[in-house]
Each structure stands twice: as C-alpha cells, then as structure tokens.
C-alpha cells in the first residue's frame, strides 16, 4: 500500500508518499521558517497565503519524485487537528480535491499523533511506549498504547519549550549574528550555547520541583532569562543592535535549565508508568519528537535519565522531528494497517484547531 500525506497545520507546507514498508517514495517541504525568523513569529495570514501558493507545488513535486500519479496511491492522509484553522483548511481542501479526482479514501490525521509515531517508520518500537513531544506549539508526555490509543500523562501549564527558545533568541538578538540569521530560535540557542566557556554563569531554578506529576512549566525560565539579559544590558549599557558579551553563557545556562526540566519530568513519567505496571519489562522505550528534539544537548539529557532507568531512547531523524508531510503519510499507513479512520469525505466541521492528544490521565498522575 501507498499513502500520500499532506501537512499544513502550522507554517510548513509538506507532502510525502510513503509505502507500507516505511519506504519514503517522494516528498516536498515548503518551509516558512526563514520568513518567520525575519518577522519574529508565525503570522497566520502570511502562512495561509503561502500554503495556498505552495500546496499544489508540494503535492506535484512529491508525486514527481515518487514517479507516480495520484491514481497510484491507496489513500490520501491529511492533518485535520490541531493547528491553525485556516491553515488546516488549505490542506484538507486540497486533500478532498485529490480524493475526488482519484476516487481514493481520505485519512484524517492528528498532527501530534503523527509526531509520536514518526520514529516507528525507521525503528521497530512496539506498543506501549512513552513519548515526549517538544515543539514550538506543544510540550506533552504520553503513553502510546496503540496507533489510535494515547494516554496523556502531562503537558505544559504555560508555554512550550520551542516557543520560549524562539522568544529568548529574538530578545538576545541572535539573528544579528550571521551564523544564526537563518535558523530557528531553538537551533540558534543550541549553536550559541556550544561557544560558552562557563555554562554555570547564570543560575535558573528548576520549575515544579515540588510537584510529583508530569506537567511542565516554562514561563518562569523565559522570564528569568529575560530578567538576566536586561540586567546585563544595563550593566554593559548596550544600545540598539548590540549584543551582551555573556550571550553564549546565557544561552548555555538557559538551555541547560530547559533540558534539566524536561529530563526531570520524563523521569517522573517513567516512575509513574512503572508504579502502575503500564510498561512491560520488555518494552522499556521512550520516543522524543517535535522540533525541539533536534536539539542534541536536550536529547542527551533525556537519554541520560532514560538510560539510568533502563530505557532505550529513540528520536526520528531531524527532518522528521520538525513538521513534515512524511510523518502524516506514515501515520496514514499505520492507520490503514489497522483499518481505522478511512473515510470517503472530511467536512470542515471535523477540523479541530485545539484537539488534545488522547485521553487525559493527567489528574491520575500524582
């Protein structure tokens, strides 16, 4: 079987064709990241215009690379939730058109489920497994029990980690350093942190240490980073585009604090699942995905905790951590194998911008 997947939930227009063996046959990605670095954030109307301009190009490019026509695929999978409404509509509308002209079924996809399952395209990871999803829009810990069965263990009570890294990168004016001008905020912080000679220069308190649940909080770290920056800016009397001399150390300490918090909460999730016997001893696996999972320092911090507790840690290749059409097509394949979610049509009413991930188990986690 072969599935064509379409992704337009945020600022990337992605399309890919994947088969049942997990072989990528062709893909295309029109990313607006560079543009947003310039504007300082995702502008929904700009994103919408670009999705509309790029969707046909992306689909045709993916089909061309796979050397097939739409008639040769078995189904069209498309992200219907969560995400920005008008952007999701662009993808759904085009998927409906493709289904109509080819007579193929549609498969509605949950964007975060697709992030969670992407690693299974390359590695045999049996259900259940723990997943940590960290991106610009989300921070979730869940137990993946099956392709269509997720148990939400914890989430961010305020901002997601990618968002605070983007905000702090912007406030630090990292894009004025040519090497970082074109990369996402989180990536800029990772690269800058590598140049630090003293990552203990700034101290950040670990959030939610007193709570035994699996929730996250990042707004305190963001505020603290900005306070430290403002203090240094006034000490050095920096003006306009000038950057504080401690920029690399601040990035390193800030990134360390984020990694420590993520690792600490993941440790809580493991302890909870073990206590409840939710994970068989043979399946001690954790998947980390989402754009922030591209960060090697953060990934290693989680790896250290996981390994200590006897778990194997997986993450998809970087191209599959950030938003893309491949994970949508692969989720379509996984759903097809299970015979779930194949539909003749998708109504705009089925689009759900705020859809949560799975059944909430958050109140049970203490």
- Site residues (vs ligand ATP, CB under 6 A): 9-10, 111, 115, 135-138, 162-163, 165-166, 184-187, 190, 290-292, 294-295, 322-323
Contact set with Fe ion (CB under 5 A) = 135, 323
With 0-12 / 13-18 / 19 or more C-beta atoms within 10 angstroms meaning exposed / middle / buried, residue 355 is middle
Backbone dihedral angles phi then psi of residue 321, each to the nearest 5 degrees = -75, -45
Q: What residues pair up with 78 in beta bridges, in sequence order?
A: 6, 108
162 binds, among ligand ATP, Fe ion, none (CB under 5 to 8 A by kind): ligand ATP
Q: Which does 185 bind (CB under 5 to 8 A by kind): ligand ATP, Fe ion, none?
A: ligand ATP
Q: Taking the complex as a whole, how short is the minimal distance between the CB of residue 31 and Fe ion, in angstroms? A: 12
Nearer to ligand ATP, 18 or 42 (CB): 42
CB of 234 to Fe ion, least distance (A): 37
Are the beta carbons of 217 and 156 closer than 8 angstroms?
yes
Shortest Cβ 302–ligand ATP spacing (Å): 13
The strand pairing partners of 360, in sequence order, are: 152
Question: Of 138 and 268, which CB lies nearer to Fe ion in the complex structure?
Answer: 138
Question: Residue 166 binds which one of ligand ATP, Fe ion, none, with CB within 5 to 8 A depending on kind?
Answer: ligand ATP
CA distance 139 to 163: 10
Smallest gap, in angstroms, from Cβ of residue 190 to Fe ion?
18
Q: How many CB atoms lie within 10 A of CB 96?
A: 17
List helix spans (H) across 109-238: 111-117, 161-171, 185-193, 219-236
CB of 8 or CB of 135, closer to ligand ATP: 135
Dihedral over alpha carbons 210, 216, 219, 220 (to 10 degrees): 20
Looking at beta carbons only, is 3 or 139 nearer to ligand ATP? Answer: 139
Based on CB atoms, which residue is closest to Fe ion, 82 or 105?
Answer: 82
């Amino acid at each position: 079987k072969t599935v064509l997947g379409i992704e337009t939930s945020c600022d990337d227009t992605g399309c890919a064709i994947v088969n049942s063996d997990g072989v990528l046959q062709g893909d295309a990605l029109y990313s607006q990241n560079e543009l947003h670095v310039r504007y300082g954030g995702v502008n929904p109307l700009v994103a919408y215009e670009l999705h509309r301009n790029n969707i046909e190009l992306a689909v045709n490019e993916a089909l061309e690379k796979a050397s097939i026509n739409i008639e040769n695929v078995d189904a069209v999978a498309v992200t219907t939730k969560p995400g920005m409404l008008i952007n999701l509509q662009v993808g759904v509308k085009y998927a409906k058109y493709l289904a109509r002209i080819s007579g193929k079924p549609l498969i509605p996809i949950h964007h975060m489920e697709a992030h969670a399952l992407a690693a299974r395209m390359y590695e045999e990871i049996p259900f259940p497994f723990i997943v940590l999803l960290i991106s610009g829009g989300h921070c979730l810990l869940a137990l993946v029990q099956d392709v269509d069965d997720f148990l939400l263990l914890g989430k961010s009570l305020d901002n997601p980690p990618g968002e605070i890294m983007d905000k702090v990168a912007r406030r630090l004016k990292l894009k004025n350093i040519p090497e970082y001008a074109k990369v996402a905020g989180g990536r800029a912080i990772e690269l800058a942190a590598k140049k630090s000679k003293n990552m203990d220069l700034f101290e950040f308190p670990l959030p939610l240490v007193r709570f035994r649940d699996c929730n996250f909080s990042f707004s305190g770290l963001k505020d603290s980073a900005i306070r430290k920056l403002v203090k240094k800016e006034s000490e050095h009397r920096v003006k306009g585009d000038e950057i504080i001399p401690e920029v690399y150390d601040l990035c390193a300490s800030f990134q360390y604090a984020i990694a420590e918090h993520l690792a600490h909460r993941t440790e809580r999730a493991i302890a909870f699942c073990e206590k409840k016997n939710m994970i068989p001893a043979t399946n001690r696996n954790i998947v980390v995905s989402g754009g922030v999972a591209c960060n090697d320092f953060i990934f290693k911090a989680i790896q250290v905790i996981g390994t200590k507790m006897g778990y194997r840690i997986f993450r998809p290749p970087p191209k599959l951590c950030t938003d893309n059409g491949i994970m949508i097509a692969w989720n379509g394949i996984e759903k097809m194998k299970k015979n779930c979610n194949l539909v003749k049509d998708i109504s705009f009413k089925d689009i759900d911008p705020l859809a949560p991930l799975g059944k909430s188990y958050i109140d049970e986690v203490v």
